[in-house]
Amino acid sequence: MTSVPCAAAAAMAEEERALLGPAGRQEDGGGSAATPSVLPAACDPRRLAHRLLVLSLMCFLGFGSYFCYDNPAALQTQVQRDMKVNTAQFMALYAWYSWPNVVLCFFGGFLIDRVFGIRLGTIIFSIFVCVGQVIFALGAILNTFWLMDVGRFIFGIGGESLAVAQNTYAVSWFKGKELNLVFGLQLSMARIGSTVNMNIMGWIYSRVQDLLGYTGPSTLGLTLMIGGVTCLFSLTCALILAYLDKRAEKLLCKEQGKTGEVIKLTDVKDFSLSLWLIFVICVCYYAAVFPFIGLGKVFFIEKFKFSSQEASAINSIVYIISAPMSPVFGLLVDKLGKNIIWVLCAVVTTLASHIMLAFTFWNPWIAMCLLGLAYSLLACALWPMVAFVVPEHQLGTAYGFMQSIQNLGLAIIAIAAGMILDTRGYLFLEVFFSACVCLSLIAVVMLYFVNHLTGGDLNWSAKKREKLQKAAETEKEI
Amino acid sequence: MQYNPGWNGSSVNLLHVRAVGRGDTLHYVWSSIGAPAALLVATASGSSALRLNWTRLLSPDPTGAVWIEPASSVVYSAAVVFTKVFEYSQTKMLEELFYPTYDLSDFSWDSVNGTLNHTALTAEFKGVPATDPGGSFSNGSLAFRVTAYEVGGRDGPLPSLLHTANSSKVEFVLAGVAPRGNSSRFALEVAMVEEPGVAQKLRSARSIDDEYTPTIFEMLSLVAESQNDSSPLSFLQWKATAYGSQTPRREDNIQCRSHSLQAANWSLPVSSLVHAYFGEGVGSTYTISAINISFGGEDGQVYQEKRYLSWSVLLGFGQPPKDTFSPLVISIMAVALGTPMVMLLVGSCVVFFAQRKRYSEYEPIN
């Protein structure tokens, strides 16, 4: 579930363009004088009350998929015990989620813009998520692990594209107004979904166990079915949102939202060295964070002797921290610029936290809080960098490509991590993750020097950027 | 390695393992006469030998039937006796319900002769209860697998304990034994006989290194220390895990807990070997301490499914071996951390010279 920062950043960049474009800032509540208000506030698409309703629907649209994405992590012990699978097979559940997205990242935008439209697209993706989760749960009930893999695959087809659809909706309803805030809220909601999942699934499992009186595949399946209710809830949100969007279209004569992504795979050969380095940073960094969280719960139980609840809590701290800190760091990076330095800080902090987890018995809360901070900072500093090194018309391709290889990296590393854990244990796993972060660090250092030597603008402070932008504008005017 | 030295017959089992070093000899004597036991004797002579009086040993009073010659060369001796296997289940009220205990001195043991492997230095003591009214052992058995080592190293199969040439491994195996309850768990009682002036200490060490025994961080050791200078004399060492499979993998791991060490003031079950060597003083002159090792976590289901349990423990003289980081881990960390540093240095130099060059190009304007 990593597309959000990317899609958000892409849309943010788009919004920036909109703001800087000739039209300038759009008038607030465009066309409010044209039609006399006869509808109550909550039903009037121009009024704040209605937009808040739409906003909450948008936020809950992604809740189900974020909730269910980390179901395996929350139930690792139960999954491994009931389905009798080793850790490598367990981690394949995450890999199967990532595989379809290696390809789909390029087509999500295309499907929404050209094939389905945003409304139908969102509903279809939500249905994929629901069906995927149901098959996942059925696989558990029928005690067939491969069916669970199939479920995760279908779930993955829907999940990532749904995030793109969610962002497209946000741009279409809030462009030029509260867009950054809306993105922030959506991101926070996603994190809340993951956090709630981490902390509640174990409890649901034990209740189901009490109800059935035994543990086994059917207990697991029933628990996952109950988790799937959140997907149904999100599907309902998608349906209501489609209705409201359609209605707003009629009332306000507004166009159906589009991602505006143009993907041309031939652009890949024009990518600069800097962009490739950014890709490396991205892949290696996320590979050391998400698979780690996938295996985290049992790690804290086995190495640090945490209780199940405590382990769930600490495993979700990364998400909890990133919910409030993402907007803060976003603002900070925007104000100060110097993106590479921030990325460097984030990577070094992550490295420190992995080394702490590997080589010490220090209270893991310290390391996990550091990881949470670093993760939030990286997302805010890394993704916008792409916009600086790629011409505008290639932005869609660059983001699509970045997501694609990120998913590829996640899928491979997830399986590798499972295999390493089974044969070599946690110390080696943490050393492996540290090595991944180090690779990412090497890429950051290289990026710094490449940028320095080629006179790139990645590491300028915000002030300098502004000055140069002004200079460029005046030059144009002349 | 010698089987029943000086006795023709395999109705009883006695295995003598001799490790000869420069100026010292270590004797391990394993026997299933009575409860299965191991006698550990360290001698300061390169030619010390084990002597047995078989008629005496097999008589009801075996005192003095086992001795070392020359007696003056004996530096230290101790014995480990595996006395009982408990089976119990935990009720919902967290009470422990005990089933009748299996007393290992009442077991009938198969001949070790057929299981001897003189190249791998292994042997297996396999037994079933002499009377088995419940039929739990009809398809199963209990066994102690003994491995002696010629050189230091590390076992291949899990838990991959590190061993020295001075140590031996014994593996407690419960295979196919039908549990008597739905959530039965087993516990093994191990008793140690020590010389006067020697104290047993149970140490639990948590290590960050689980590379050789994945996901197991706890290493327990029971060290016999001399009370004078607290120098370690002998040890039992084990990882806090048992495995539920003949080819153990990480996911077969069965939680293993050690209960506190207790001075045993009860009389030791008749273990002929111990009485034969230490004589009547066992329990008075020679102190006995005992520890229970229980297998199975919150739910004892792993055994129910697999019907197999194996737990390994290392016995030896001196200091228990300590794990260190593997060269692979060290080299990965060194390369991973070193490369960015080197790049930072090289990069700084390149940038520095590039800038100087650029400035120097402008200098001639003067």
Is the model's pLDDT at A238 over the cut of 90? yes
Query: What is the pLDDT at residue A441?
Result: 95
Query: What is the pLDDT at residue A16?
Result: 42
Query: How far is A381 from chain B, CA to nearest CA, in Å?
Result: 20
3-state percent breakdown (helix, strand, coil) of chain A, nearest 5: 85, 0, 15
Kindly give the pairing relationship between strand B14-20 and strand B25-31. Answer: antiparallel
Can you tell me the mean pLDDT for B290-295?
Answer: 89
Can you tell me the mean pLDDT for A330-338?
Answer: 83
Q: Check CB contact under 8 Å for A428 and B329.
A: yes
Let me know whether B344 and B200 are in one domain.
Answer: no
Tens of pLDDT along B334-365? 999 999 999 999 988 988 888 787 666 555 55
Tens of pLDDT along A122-138? 999 999 999 999 999 99
The structure tokens listed for A44 are 């009037």
A477 — pLDDT class (breaks 50, 70, 90): low
Query: What is the pLDDT at residue A334?
Result: 81
Q: Check CB contact under 8 Å for A361 and B344.
A: no
Can you tell me the mean pLDDT for A404-426?
Answer: 91
Query: What is the pLDDT at residue A396?
Result: 79
- Percent of chain A with pLDDT strictly greater than 70: 88
Q: For tokens 């739409």, what's the residue?
A: A54
Alpha helices in B228-365 (DSSP H): 272-278, 301-306, 327-362
List the one residue out of A47, A428, A142, A371 whose CA is nearest residue B211.
Answer: A428
A328 — pLDDT class (breaks 50, 70, 90): confident
Query: What is the pLDDT at residue B300?
Result: 57
Distance separating alpha carbons of residues B223 and A56, to the nearest angstrom:
64
CA B69, chain centre distance (Å): 28
Is the model's pLDDT at A384 over the cut of 90? no
Let me know whether B25 and B61 are in one domain.
Answer: yes
A3 — pLDDT class (breaks 50, 70, 90): very low
Is the model's pLDDT at A21 over the cut of 60? no
Contacts of A432 in chain B (CB under 8 A): 332
Let me know whether B130 and B169 are in one domain.
Answer: yes
Distance separating alpha carbons of residues A19 and A330, to the nearest angstrom:
18
Let me know whether B42 and B156 are in one domain.
Answer: yes
Let me know whether B219 and B363 are in one domain.
Answer: no
Can you tell me the mean pLDDT for A183-198?
Answer: 85
Tens of pLDDT along A281-314? 999 999 999 999 989 998 999 899 899 889 999 9
Is the model's pLDDT at A10 over the cut of 50? no
List the one residue out of A129, A130, A139, A131 whose CA is nearest residue A221.
Answer: A139
ipTM above 0.90, yes or no: no
| Side chain identity at residue B6, one-letter code | G
Distance separating alpha carbons of residues A429 and A416, to the nearest angstrom:
9
CB B42 within 8 A of CB B29: no
Query: What is the pLDDT at residue B238?
Result: 92
Query: What is the pLDDT at residue A427?
Result: 92
Structural domains in chain B (count): 2
Distance separating alpha carbons of residues A98 and A112, to the nearest angstrom:
20
Handedness of CA A35, A51, A249, A400 (dihedral sign): positive
Handedness of CA A225, A184, A347, A284 (dihedral sign): positive
Query: How far is A438 from chain B, CA to nearest CA, in Å?
Result: 6
Let me know whether B160 and B253 are in one domain.
Answer: yes
Q: Check CB contact under 8 Å for A449 and B211.
A: no
Query: How far is A102 from chain B, CA to nearest CA, in Å?
Result: 28
Helix and strand element counts for chain A (H, E): 18, 0
Is the model's pLDDT at A59 over the cut of 60? yes
For residues A35 and B128, the model is more confident at B128
DSSP state, residue B47: T
E strand or H helix that includes residue B187: strand B184-194
Let me know whether B300 and B336 are in one domain.
Answer: no
Can you tell me the mean pLDDT for A357-374?
Answer: 93
Query: What is the pLDDT at residue B61?
Result: 80
Residue B249 structural domain: 2-324
**pTM for this structure?**
0.86
Residues B75-107 as b/e (b if ≥16 CB within 10 A, e otherwise) read ebbbbbbbbbbbbbbbeeeeeeeebeebebbeb
Tens of pLDDT along A91-103? 999 999 999 988 8
Is the model's pLDDT at A23 over the cut of 50? no
The structure tokens listed for A41 are 């506030």
A478 — pLDDT class (breaks 50, 70, 90): low
* SS3 state at A289: coil
Let me know whether B121 and B150 are in one domain.
Answer: yes
Query: What is the pLDDT at residue A437?
Result: 95
Rg from Cα positions in chain A:
22
List, in sequence order, every residue forming a beta bridge with B76; answer none if it has no partner. B42
Closest chain B CA to residue A77: B251
| DSSP string for residues in A251-279 | HH-PPPP-------GGGGGG--HHHHHHH
A13 — pLDDT class (breaks 50, 70, 90): very low
Query: What is the pLDDT at residue B359?
Result: 66
Task: Output the average pLDDT for chain B.
Answer: 84
Q: Check CB contact under 8 Å for B344 and A445.
A: yes
Let me know whether B86 and B140 are in one domain.
Answer: yes
Let me know whether B121 and B255 are in one domain.
Answer: yes
Residues A316-339 as b/e (b if ≥16 CB within 10 A, e otherwise) read bbbbbbbbebbbebbeebeeebbb
* SS3 state at B30: strand
The structure tokens listed for A336 are 């100060």
For residues B300 and B174, the model is more confident at B174
Q: Check CB contact under 8 Å for B206 and A439.
A: no
Is the model's pLDDT at B210 over the cut of 80? yes
Let me know whether B308 and B361 are in one domain.
Answer: no
Query: What is the pLDDT at residue B63?
Result: 83
For residue B118, count CB atoms less than 10 angstroms from its CB and return exposed for 0-12, middle for 13-18, buried for 19 or more. exposed
Q: Using alpha carbons only, what angle is made at residue A253 by residues A247 and A255, rounded to the nearest 5 degrees?
A: 90
Query: What is the pLDDT at residue A433?
Result: 95
| Side chain identity at residue B136, one-letter code | S
Distance separating alpha carbons of residues A241 and A162, to the nearest angstrom:
13
Q: Which one of A422, A431, A438 has the shortest CB-CB distance to B329?
A: A431
Q: Using alpha carbons only, what angle is made at residue A85 by residues A84 and A91, rounded to the nearest 5 degrees?
A: 150
Q: For tokens 């070392």, what's the residue?
A: B68
Question: For chain A, which residues lie within 8 Å of any Cβ of chain B, measuring from their own Cβ?
Answer: 80, 84-87, 215, 298, 302-303, 358-361, 421-428, 431-432, 434-435, 438-439, 441-442, 445-446, 448-449, 452-453
| Side chain identity at residue A59, one-letter code | C
Question: For chain B, which residues lie within 8 Å of any Cβ of chain A, measuring from their own Cβ?
Answer: 206, 208-217, 249-251, 299, 328-329, 332-333, 335-337, 339-340, 343-344, 347, 350-351, 354
Which CATH number covers residue B101? 2.70.98
Let me know whether B314 and B332 are in one domain.
Answer: no
Can you tell me the mean pLDDT for A396-422?
Answer: 89
CB A431 within 8 A of CB B329: yes
Query: What is the pLDDT at residue A390?
Result: 83
Is the model's pLDDT at B95 over the cut of 80? no
CB B252 within 8 A of CB B261: no
Distance separating alpha carbons of residues A348 and A373, to the nearest angstrom:
12
* SS3 state at A142: coil
Is the model's pLDDT at A34 over the cut of 70? no
Can you tell me the mean pLDDT for B65-94?
Answer: 83
A33 — pLDDT class (breaks 50, 70, 90): very low
